[in-house]
Amino acid sequence: MEDFAAIIEQHQDRVFRTLARLTGERDGQEDLAQEVFLRLHRALPHFRNRAKVSTFLYRIIVNVVNDEWRRRQSSRRMVAIDEDTQVLVHPGAGPEELLEQHDFQAALAEAMRQLPLGDRTILTLHYQEGRKYEEIAAILDVPLGTVKTNLFRARERLRGMMGEWISKCRISR
């Protein structure tokens, strides 16, 4: 149990951060995180150290989010996380730049919420969690080529959704 408590302590920030990014909401996140760690606890006796615990944990997170997503599909609602989202800003940024950065982050968060869960998952794992292609393939249990293709397509869909915002910024400059 001490080892499992250490695992929870080591990975809890990552679990909460990834859950927030994948679900786009803060409500119920504790319950989902508890489910993630419960599934991890049940699965650890069968873990053969063929992958890192973090890779195994990401797979569980994705499964929990997929299960929750299916459960909520009929009464699907999205809640913005803008209020709690923290944006890293250059210390020399002026008010106009800060406002533009905030607007971009809000537009990006909204676009991410509108993407299909698979696109959001692969973009989150690669760009926000910094996972490499190989690790994403292990997490999602798909071939490496599928990861590259799906990441490219998800990026293109996101770019298309953000196109209007990007055009607006270019015009205002």
- Range 89-173: architecture per CATH: Orthogonal Bundle (1.10)
Give me the tens of pLDDT residue by residue for the chain, a chain 173 residues long. 568 888 889 999 999 988 888 887 777 888 999 999 999 988 888 777 777 888 888 889 999 988 888 777 644 444 344 444 444 444 555 566 666 777 778 888 888 888 999 999 999 999 888 899 999 999 999 999 999 999 999 999 998 888 876 666 655 54
Q: How far apart are CA 18 and CA 7, in angstroms?
A: 16
Structure tokens given for 117: 């869960």
SS3 91: coil
Residues of the chain by 3-state class (helix, strand, coil), percent to 5: 75, 0, 25
**Identity of residue 97:** E
In whole angstroms, how large is the CA radius of gyration of the chain? 18
Q: Where in the chain are the domains?
A: 1-79, 89-173
- Range 1-79: architecture per CATH: Orthogonal Bundle (1.10)
